[in-house]
Structure 1
């Protein structure tokens, strides 16, 4: 585990070196002749680039044949960057093993659940359990770390690239899975109990009889086996990361280490990974055409910030414009790159980085946008990149600073994600990521700061905890959430929560299992609705609709806040509230229409005594971040194509807009152009974040 104090020392060194927010992107000079390199460095200096990621996919060039190394080209690139005072985030190149490894050692190639081998020709074509792959990955990492540990360009280490947590089914993985299970359970009897193998006569006599969940079965998979295989695949990938991290750390103990996460990515438990790196970093690519792209991005940013307790994090990759992830890749509207970049900084990022510096001419992504497009310096993108670099220099005092403390948290647990979307459930269509976003959206629109928490986390800083679809929860997590309510706080929970324990075994005594007492209800049946089916409901005098799911709720101490107004369940509660101890628990037994969900969420916000950063019109984001010296900065971001005016309210000492051109502030109001932004430096003291200091209201 990365000790937090040591991590902070390493990051302090990086901040001093960069003298501001990190700005740059992936640099792949191996795609270009040498005469282009000097032009690249000159243009980087012109835009204010101070950090580039180098070497991500260069294993085949650095080791063109087994044990034969060719570092000359990388030496030259590192020297050029050092001369220009541009730092290097040097990657271990193990995400793209060379062709000779696949052909000399085909046993390193991953195998899917149906026995098909992934061949060489893309990237990530390796099995994380393969001892042969691990040996060669360690060797190239060792040679790289030895050679560049003291190079003046080296600023930090980047391990691998976008680990995907692929669940391999080759013989090496099967053997590794068996060892992992033996270490987890100790005895095969304990495994049989956890997996409930008495059902269908699946009892195992030995760990040697256990395999990986196969793709084609005559019947449904064992849920416990499937869940543990998710855990195992995550752990095996983490072992690879840790092996390479430990090698570079041995040679460069004072430099920070990271690997690039992919936001709300299902296959890897980033909460576990974050504890073992110095700083969290993310690759983020919101849809250019999605009118809610900024909400999706904010959701990812808040999640990344939360993984290490609110510490600053890094945007490692983003897009200046179109990317190649979707069937139709639209250009990004003028100004959108700037506001999405500033949004990341507002929510705690210490960097704005892109993939990539120079747009590729060949390979899989020639039409993925870049800082320097095919059209070069005559393009709009290039002009916007230069303007963004200028903006970021004015925000240098934010480096190392934190966001204002959130009073609302959303529970997020990867193990629950793996379990709740499993097979043979009442509904196979429950999309947890989408459901969490449904709960997050009203909070974002209301400018309510949000953290993401695990059920085991200390919840003392929060007034309201939102719990979407927490199907799997262990006793400790359930007790922690229950105690949170009993102590006087507010909980908002959605359906299919508390149903199973950590082994995916249904809890005794009826549903909602672990949360029956705190919610004050009994669920007689689950009633998922068919696609397109809806039923009316009434909430707070407003008509609404229920879709996707209905719980058949019986009140056991709770009161109904909303009921169904038609269908077989007419008159049955759809939303309930229960006083538990000194606190309040609200329960959503359905997936309601957006307006109803917004009212329920914001009623809980009001009842908990939470106030927004600033009240703004729809599409205008307000967030606060403190500089390292404690000075507060109010970010105002217009995500709409229309000019808007923002009422600033009580803003002492005539706040100064740090961006260029500065926003026009007159009469306590700020005018923002389409896709415009302002960062107002405020002279504010630290606001009291202790929820016990504030009067709590009624959440009716």
Structure 2
């Protein structure tokens, strides 16, 4: 499939005369794909069973007649007023049992029988109508699904039914959750409810299971639609446009049966003002999305202008940012980029979530930049099509770790799982080393280095997989807060790092949750690095210390270690050092494993490689507002300009180049 550019369009918001002129301009610009109908339920079904598809027929034909492909959406994210008025069970109840009224969108209970019954009839009708349409290539289910917690009777019953599938009986549940604490034991399944009232703190095992149930409830809403679309539209793809991480949903489960992952990417200008912290690091977002199914993905909404709806209007994208961030997404695995939106809305809550064309309806600077991007992608789309991102370094990501650590803060000032993962990812990013961010339960074949931040919950299966990887010659990097609990969110009665203590060759004799307090560590070369959040005091059980604490009562105690394990090695980082330490540590690991990068990147320049057969395409993107000079390690040809580059590449501010 060629790499292509598309547009999000809302024909129900514009006159038919505008459809024609917009379609003509899209055709001239080279737009290949139009996504529509994600919020149009009330226009498509103004009363129950009264389907009005004629206007959508006309809109599809307007763009299809000019050679564009169509992605249709199921609009279940916005239940119409007639539906919520007639069937009150569609609306969710919050933790105080108050009805969540229609407002922006997403006002629905994921387990509502009425939503499923009426929504199924609608999805049946629209999918049958367009299953054979030659221009309709696929479907997006719903929109940016999120963890809409609901505490209605239906959800209470569904939660209990969900638990009864996971536990043999109440005796097992009480034992596994430790409900004996605070007299929380259940004597009847009917005593279990969702966490009504919002009191804190609550049993962490109970809360982790409830969060898992909520994620599965979103999957329930997605899956009954998927079943209909698969049955009626076997030749068309099905996807969903997830919101960028971190999120309350387990995206690995959610996307298991979908054809590919899609997500909405809004890396606005302000992201670069905050340094290393996630989610402002767009490269991590893209690597994480690619890792969900370990294949190429779509961006279903890409930044096109200043954001503003439920927040003040943000900065307008600097000249070059729209193009640079689009190429960044392609560089890291995107196979199609669909921009949100064609024109800024004149009505509704998102009037100031700006599109490519402003309210004036006069194409300006941002549109011209989009047109340049579209020309470039159309020229190179076939050549780059079918290329993939393949790396030999992996970072393991776990939604369960994110959830469990969010439920119980480990140190004052926060000890964010995602932020910590980001700082390790960023060390490789600054060196120009590609990383796959994959689910922690995935096979590790083909990797040489695997980085595993805070396996707070640890299973036998994952522990054994990491041990086998090291035994066979791999390098594993573990961090503090590993092996603390089992998968029921219950603390293990064994020395940390629990199941991985033998592989790490250390045990934690004591720990100190230092939070914002700044401590120091000293490496073997005598270099001093700052550290915060946490200090594991390590006892060597076969490992070798490579850094020691440099202050406090545990000055001289090992802080970072390495252990030979089989043909490989296992590192253990007992504190959370500043980014410079991770850079130094990973630089050494890359040299040991023969993965040292060939290019030295200036600050703010990203490198990603896509390969296709024997061809390798190096994408270099300058995400700063200043020119950057890259010293090349080998002569290359620029695919964008055709120029042969011998020694240097000069990237202007927010500049892009692709070298073969």
Q: TM-score, normalised by structure 1?
A: 0.90
Q: Quote the residue 1:260 is aligned against.
A: 241
Would the aligned equivalents of 1:312 and 1:400 in 2 still touch at CA under 8 Å? no
Partner Cα separation in structure 2 for residue 449 and residue 613 of structure 1: 12
CA drift of 1:438 comes to 0.6
- Tell me the CA shift for residue 181 of structure 1: 0.8
What do residues 273-305 of structure 1 show as CA deviations (whole Å, max 9, x unaligned)?
A: 222100111111123122259971111111111
- How far apart, CA to CA, are the structure 1 residues paired with 2:313 and 2:381? 37
Aligned to 1:248: 229
Judge which range, 630-639 or 160-169, deviates more: 630-639
1:315 is the counterpart of 2:299: yes
Partner of 1:301: 286
Whether 2:206 is the aligned partner of 1:225: answer yes
CA displacement 1:23-46 (0-9 Å, x = unmatched): 122110111122211111111112
What is the aligned counterpart of 1:649 among 608, 633, 656? 633
Q: Give the direction of change, closer, same or farther, for the CA distance of 1:407–1:295 in structure 2 (3 Å limit).
A: farther
- Partners of 1:492 and 1:548 lie apart in 2 by 18
Matched, 1:271 2:252: yes
**Among 558, 563, 588, which residue is 2:548 paired with?**
563
- Residue aligned with 2:443, SS: coil
The reply on whether 1:409 has 2:391 as its aligned counterpart is no
* Cα distance in 1, alignment partners of residues 470 and 149 from structure 2: 38
Q: Deviations over 1:296-326 (max 9, x none)?
A: 11111111111222x2111111112321275
1:692: which partner in 2? none
CA contact (8 A) 1:220 1:424 kept: no
Instruction: Please name the residue that 1:340 is paired with.
Output: 325
- Give the corresponding residue for 1:379: 364
Give the Cα separation in 1 of the matches to 2:165 and 2:55: 45
* Alpha-carbon distance in structure 2 between the residues aligned to 1:452 and 1:115: 39
Deviation, 1:47, is: 1.3
Q: Is the Cα contact below 8 Å between 1:163 and 1:237 reproduced in 2?
A: yes
Structure 2 residue 513 is the aligned partner of structure 1 residue 534: no
Say if 1:455 and 1:481, in contact at 8 Å, map to a contact too: no
Q: 1:670 pairs with 638, 649, 656, which one?
A: 649
Any conservation in 2 of the 1:468–1:493 contact (CA below 8 Å)? Answer: yes
The match for 1:391 is 376
1:679, CA displacement in angstroms?
1.4
Q: Residue 631 of structure 1 corresponds to which residue in structure 2?
A: 615
Deviation at 1:497, TM superposition (A): 1.1
State the Cα distance separating 1:337 from its structure 2 match: 1.1
Partner of 1:193: 175
Alpha-carbon distance in structure 1 between the residues aligned to 2:412 and 2:536: 12
CA distance in 2, matches of 1:132, 1:307: 31
Name 1:6's counterpart in structure 2: none
CA–CA distance in structure 2, aligned partners of residues 613 and 169 of structure 1: 55
Give the equivalent residue in structure 2 for 1:419: 404
State the shift of 1:390 in Å. Answer: 0.4
Deviation at 1:159, TM superposition (A): 0.6
- Report the Cα distance in structure 2 between the residues aligned to 1:404 and 1:352, rounded to whole angstroms: 17
- For 2:353 and 2:466, the matched residues in 1 are separated by 44
Aligned positions of 1:549-698 closer than 5 A: 549-612=534-597, 614-627=599-612, 630-651=614-635, 655-659=636-640, 662=641, 665-680=644-659, 682=660
Shift of 1:613: 5.8
User: How far is the alpha carbon of 1:441 from its aligned partner?
Assistant: 0.5
Go from structure 1 to structure 2 and tell me whether the alpha carbon gap of 1:675 and 1:513 turns closer, same or farther (over 3 Å shift): same
Which range moved further: 597-606 or 179-188? 597-606
Q: How far 1:132 sits from its partner (Å)?
A: 0.9
Is the contact between residue 269 and residue 317 of structure 2 (CA under 8 Å) also seen in structure 1? yes
Q: Identify the residue that residue 122 of structure 1 maps to in structure 2.
A: 104
1:178 aligns with 2:163: no
Q: In structure 2, how many angstroms separate the alpha carbons of the residues matched to 1:23 and 1:154?
A: 16
Structure 2: segments with no counterpart, 5+ residues: none
Q: Deviations over 1:356-410 (max 9, x none)?
A: 1111112112121212222434410111111111011122125552434211100
CA distance in 1, matches of 2:226, 2:563: 48
Of 113, 122, 128, which aligns to 1:131? 113
Give 1:530 shift. Answer: 4.1
CA deviations on 1:214-255 (whole Å, 9 max, x unpaired) are: 3433x6211111111111111111111111111122121011
Q: Note if 1:27 corresponds to 2:6.
A: no
Specify the alignment match of 1:48 in structure 2. 30
Q: Which runs of 5+ in 1 are unaligned?
A: 1-14, 683-700
1:430-487 deviation digits (Å, cap 9, x = unpaired): 2111111011001011111111223322112111111111101211011111221122
In the alignment, is the contact (CA less than 8 A) between 2:357 and 2:363 conserved in 1?
no
Counterpart Cα distance in 1 of 2:145 and 2:223? 12
Partners of 1:647 and 1:269 in 2: CA distance: 41
Decide whether the 8 Å contact of 2:632 with 2:646 is kept in 1.
no
Contact 2:638 2:645 in 1 (8 A): no
Partner of 1:289, secondary structure, is: helix
1:96 offset after TM fit, Å?
0.6
Cα separation, 2, equivalents of 1:77 and 1:427: 55
**Partners of 2:354 and 2:383 in 1: CA distance:** 28
Task: Give yes or no for contact 1:305–1:312 (8 Å, CA) kept in 2.
Answer: yes
1:169 aligns with one of 151, 174, 177: 151
**Deviation by residue 1:511-559 (Cα, 9 ceiling, x = unmatched):** 221221111222123311243x212221232112111211222222222
In structure 2, the residue matched to 1:98 is: 80
Residue 499 of structure 1 and its aligned partner are, at CA, apart by 1.0
CA distance in structure 1 between the partners assigned to 2:643 and 2:654 by the alignment: 15
1:81-96 alignment, distance < 5 Å: 81-96=63-78
Contact 1:657 / 1:663 at 8 angstroms: preserved in 2?
yes
Aligned residues: 654
Q: Are the structure 2 counterparts of residues 64 and 300 from structure 1 closer, same or farther at C-alpha, using a change threshold of 3 Å?
A: same
How big is the shift at 1:607? 2.7
Distance change >3 Å, CA 559–CA 619, structure 1 → 2: same
**CA RMSD of superposed structures (Å):** 1.9
